[in-house]
A and B are shown apart, each in its own frame.
Chain A
Amino acid sequence: MIPARFDYRRAGSTDEAVGLLTEHGDDAKLLAGGHSLLPLMKLRLAAPAVLIDIGRLSDLSYIREEGDAVVVGALTRHRDIEVSDVLGRHVPLLAHVAGQIGDPQVRHRGTIGGSLAHGDPASDLPAACLALGASITAVGPTGSRTIAADDFFTGFLETALRPDEVLTEVTLPKATGAGWSFQKFNRRAQDWAIVGVAAVRNGTAGVALVNMGSTPLRARAVEEALASGAGDAEAADHAADGLEPPEDLNASAEYRRHLARVLVRRALQEARPST
């Protein structure tokens, strides 16, 4: 498996990356960790003419507190999120989810920005960001803007990012002391989730699903049921309402709907505030 030829450009700064994106348009792809893109390129399912390597923008790798939020630079690797004290204290769901992605080698290379920008409905971090009510900062030729995670995932492997924008930062509201759970259902530890559920209970409940549609998505029906006073089990029964999950070797749509209900129930119970 050998990727097709491409032109390789290394960006020295976010602005340079934006400039290169502007210059090359749809022919270009950003390369961060590369662990979503390179396998596709090796199978020749993707053949970008230009790869813009942003892997060295070390100023985009950080985790810091900013008031009521924790901000995470786009190039922060899964492993750094997994072991972050700040996240462990204030957004433990995110740290935990990062530690469940793929396997250790993947976590050493994969970045939160790459994971979100790829927008794969089967990946774990997007669901966590949805459940946590994160917002995403992107920088383009005209400056930066912030996009709510809820508005970010627009279609299968499609996001609200414009072709000339670079995702730079993820802002996560602190959920210190909140109940949380991540239920990842797969057959081997290193595999993608067949279905996953991220849940946060912090007064209100945020519940998001992995691999239950064409995008990472929130379990709105569950959240609404809880808001209107339903019990956990009753709310969980709505986990797949209105969803059209994918079908593959591991699961039919029907089985995914069932798993979503079971896993949401488990997640809500685990995330129940300890009081």
Chain B
Amino acid sequence: MRRIEVDVNGSRHVRHVDERRLLSDFLRHDLGLRGTKVGCEHGVCGACTVLLDGAAVRSCLLLAVQVDGCRVDTVEGLAGPEGLHPLQEALHRHHGLQCGYCTAGILMTAVEMAGEAGPHSVEEIKQRLSGHICRCTGYAGIVAALSEVVGS
């Protein structure tokens, strides 16, 4: 076991974790932040994507001990008392989700893009989404939603 200290969505958490504990399991089961999903467990589908010090990364391919001292942002941190995040609103407006299992991961990549200098072209948005798999939407609504918020 190893003591780690992590800032998650602006809250400081100190926990003792097994060395092999995956960040995805740490977030979901130790902190109860189950909005982050695990899809392929292998670094392909992107469902488990979170922000690590602002960068979109896969939480299923990180050990919790690796993020000691870092800041992690998850889907739970996006909506506030005032309502949904603009990207959440956009996915809602454009029917960018069906079963919703891949949505949290896609949102985190989109949030990262929204923090960058834009605008992003449709081609660029699609390339940025290349690390995510959605089996329901055919990506049409997702690309439309992201284009509206981070596109030209």
Contact = CB atoms under 8 A, between A and B. Distances in A.
Given A42-B41, A103-B131, A7 B56 contact: no
Interface residues of A, number: 30
A34 B131 contact: no
B61 A39 contact: yes
A197 B57 CA distance: 27
A103 B130 contact: yes
B44 interface: yes
Contact of B41 (A1, A102, A106, A188): A1
A106 B43 contact: yes
A104 B109 contact: yes
B20 interface: yes
A189 B130 contact: yes
Nearest to A7: B19
Contacts, number: 74
B19 A109 contact: no
B45 to A, nearest CB: 10
B42 A35 contact: no
B109 A39 contact: no
Interface stretch (B5-13, B62-70, B89-97, B139-147): B62-70
Nearest to B43: A39
B70 to A, nearest CB: 10
Contact of A38 (B46, B61, B127): B61
A5 B1 CA distance: 11
Nearest to A53: B66
A35 B66 CA distance: 12
B20 A6 contact: yes
Contacts of B46: 103, 105
B114 interface: no
Interface in A97-111: 102-106, 108-109
A102 B63 contact: no
A79 B65 CA distance: 22
B63 to A, nearest CB: 7
B44 A190 contact: yes
Contacts of B52: 108
By Cβ-Cβ distance, the 10 closest A-B pairs, closest first, are: A103-B131, A8-B19, A189-B130, A108-B55, A1-B41, A105-B131, A103-B130, A190-B130, A3-B20, A38-B61
Given A43-B42, A53-B65, A105-B49, 16 more contacts: A1-B42, A3-B20, A5-B20, A7-B19, A34-B61, A39-B42, A42-B41, A103-B130, A105-B46, A105-B56, A106-B43, A108-B55, A109-B57, A109-B61, A189-B130, A190-B131
